[in-house]
Amino acid sequence: MHHPGKFTWFEHFSGDPGKARDFYEALFGWKLKRVRGPQREYDMFHNAGEGVAGLLPAPAGTPNLWMSYLSVADVDAAFAAALAAGAKGLMPPADYFGVGRAATIADPAGAVLSLWRGAQGDREDRERTPAGDWVWNELATPDPGAAVALYEKVFGFTHDEMDMGAQGKYHVLNSADGKGRAGVMKSPHAGMPAMWTPYVHVEQADATAARVAPLGGTLLLPPMDVPTVGRIAMLQDPLGVSVAFLQPAVMG
């Protein structure tokens, strides 16, 4: 089954895949396994035996990053609509190794993401995301209003707003099925490039944060409580790539 509007997969493009493997295996308890696909082998991080992310060498001259894959109903149509709305095409639509069709864009502010239509559907939604799996994705951008308008126009999202006080409004992007899929917020620092940052569900945010520096990462945002959401933190891995983690609030 497909879930258009869901960020359904993530890949770490790394200038040093071995260093990335060691860091994420130790930080989140993932295990890297090489799996055989229809046409090639693929290095995949597994969490509790389930594949959660890919690990690929970064092409020469490109930055290390976590690439977000957004499920769309039609890659070619979404790619064309994105370009018409002002996005830049980084990789045109193409079929990949018998597993799906993809394209990559940078939105008008420069945030990079890939569009995806999997041959076997998307990973299913769960009532509770397991620890070690992806739980959220967040766009920090200089102009959140413009970003929300574009993502609604091109990808069919709707949005809700949360007042974050001095931090401004936080926009929650909802897919057509009414599920919250991602957040959009104003970049916290002037001149900061627009970027997507995915979040991993952890059981103990403070314990996870304590492991970051000894493993060679940098804690960018120490654990902090967000009412009704949980305890969040953000880090930069040894390759300079940002990722965040969330200890969800206990409801009830």
7-118 shares its CATH topology with 134-248: yes
* pLDDT one-digit tens code per residue, 83-126: 999 999 999 999 998 899 999 999 999 999 999 999 999 999 99
Quote the CA–CA distance of 73 and 3 in Å, as a whole number.
8
Query: Packing angle between helix 75-84 and helix 144-155, nearest 10 degrees?
Result: 140
Distances (CA, A) of 229 to 38, 50, 130, 222: 40, 25, 16, 16
* pLDDT one-digit tens code per residue, 34-52: 998 777 889 999 999 999 9
The yes/no answer on whether domain 134-248 falls in CATH 1.10.357.10 is no
Task: Identify any residues that bridge with 44 across adjacent strands, giving them in sequence order.
Answer: 33, 54
* pLDDT one-digit tens code per residue, 228-252: 899 999 999 999 999 999 999 975 4
Average pLDDT over residues 152-175: 92
Q: What is the third-level CATH fold of 7-118?
A: 2,3-Dihydroxybiphenyl 1,2-Dioxygenase; domain 1 (3.10.180)
Domain positions in the chain: 7-118, 134-248
- Of the CA atoms within 13 Å of residue 18, those in its CB half-sphere come to 0
Is the model's pLDDT at 63 over the cut of 60?
yes
Question: Of 21, 141, 36, which is closest to residue 87 (Cα–Cα)?
Answer: 141
